Amino acid sequence: QLPGKKDLFIEADLMSPLDRIANISILKHEVDKLYKVESRPALSTSDQFCFLVRPRIKTMRYIADIVNADKMSGRSRKYKIIFSPQKFYACEMVLEEEGVFGDVTCDEWSFYLLPLDEDIISMELPEFFRDYFLEGDHRWINSVARALQLLNSLYGPFGKAYGIGRCAKMSYELWRDLEEESEGDGQGRKPEIGNIFLMDRDTDYVTALCSQVVYEGLVDDTFRIKCGSVDFGPDVTSSDKSIKVLLNAQDKVFSQIRNEHFSSVFGFLSQKSRNLQAQYDRRRSMDIKQMKNFVSQELKGLKQEHRLLSLHIGACESIMKKKTKQDFQEMIKAEHSLLEGFDIRESTSFIEEHIDRQVSPIESLRLMCLLSITENGLIPKDYRSLKTQYLQSYGPEHLLTFHNLKRIGLLTEQSAGETLTAVESKVSKLVTDRAAGKITDAFNSLARKSNFRAISKKLGLIPRVDGEYDLKMPRDMAYVFSGAYIPLSCKIIEQVLERRGWLGLEEVVRLLNGNEFSISGSASAGLGAGGPGAGGSDSTLPLLDSTVEDNPAWESQRIVLAVFLGGCTFSEIAALRFLGKERGCKFIFLTTAITNSARMMEAMIEAKA
pLDDT in tens, 301-338: 678 778 888 888 999 999 988 888 778 888 999 999 99
**Region 178-194: what's the mean pLDDT?**
77
Sheet with strand 114-115: strands edge to edge? 114-115, 120-122, 586-591, 559-565, 195-200, 160-164, 516-520
Sheet with strand 31-36: strands edge to edge? 31-36, 6-10, 48-53, 78-83, 104-108
DSSP 186: G
User: Of 13, 523, 565, 572, whose CA–CA distance to 259 is shortest?
Assistant: 572
Q: What is the pLDDT of residues 432-476, one digit of tens each?
A: 444 444 444 444 333 333 589 999 999 999 988 777 888 888 889
**Region 162-178: what's the mean pLDDT?**
94
Would you state the pLDDT for residue 343? 87
**Region 140-162: what's the mean pLDDT?**
92
DSSP 41: P
Q: Provide the pLDDT confidence category of residue 280 given band limits of 50, 70 and 90.
A: low
d(CA 170, CA 138): 9
Least confident of 55-64, 426-435, 517-526: 426-435
Would you state the pLDDT for residue 531? 41
DSSP 520: E
**Region 149-171: what's the mean pLDDT?**
92
Residue 282 has pLDDT above 70, yes or no: no
Would you state the pLDDT for residue 538? 38
Helix (H) or strand (E) holding 83: strand 78-83
d(CA 343, CA 411): 19
Strands 160-164 and 104-108: unpaired
CA dihedral for 243, 248, 254, 260, sign (positive or negative): positive
d(CA 401, CA 313): 38
d(CA 325, CA 328): 8
Q: What is the pLDDT of residues 230-273, one digit of tens each?
A: 999 888 888 888 899 999 998 888 999 999 999 888 888 888 87
Would you state the pLDDT for residue 1? 77
Higher pLDDT, 109 or 548: 109
- List the Cα angle 307/313/316 in 5-degree steps: 145
Residue 179 has pLDDT above 50, yes or no: yes
The type of residue at 201 is R
Q: What is the pLDDT of residues 377-400, one digit of tens each?
A: 999 999 999 999 999 999 999 999
Contact 602, 134 (CB under 8 A): no
Q: Which residues, 6+ apart, have CB-to-CB distance to 216 below 8 Å?
A: 225, 247, 254, 258, 259, 570, 573, 574
**Omega before residue 85 within 30° of 0, cis:** yes
Higher pLDDT, 29 or 109: 109
Q: What is the pLDDT of residues 529-584, one digit of tens each?
A: 334 444 333 333 345 554 444 555 667 788 999 999 999 999 999 999 999 999 99
d(CA 326, CA 335): 14
Would you state the pLDDT for residue 529? 36
CA dihedral for 325, 215, 318, 18, sign (positive or negative): negative
What percent of the chain lies above the pLDDT cut of 90?
57
Q: What DSSP letter does each residue of 213-265 carry, written as one string?
A: -BHHHHHHHHH--BTTEEEE-HHHHTSSS-EEEE-STTSTTHHHHTTSBHHHH
Q: How many residues does the chain have?
A: 609
In this structure, the number of other CB atoms found within 10 A of the CB of residue 373 comes to 21
d(CA 198, CA 162): 6
Residue 483 has pLDDT above 50, yes or no: yes
**Region 163-190: what's the mean pLDDT?**
85
User: Of 249, 281, 280, 274, whose CA–CA distance to 573 is shortest?
Assistant: 249
Contact 487, 477 (CB under 8 A): yes
Record the pTM.
Answer: 0.86
Mean pLDDT, the chain, integer? 84
Q: What DSSP letter does each residue of 88-156 carry, written as one string?
A: -HHHHHHHHHTT-GGGEEEEE-----EE-SSSEEE---THHHIIIIIT---THHHHHHHHHHHHHHHH-
Would you state the pLDDT for residue 184? 57
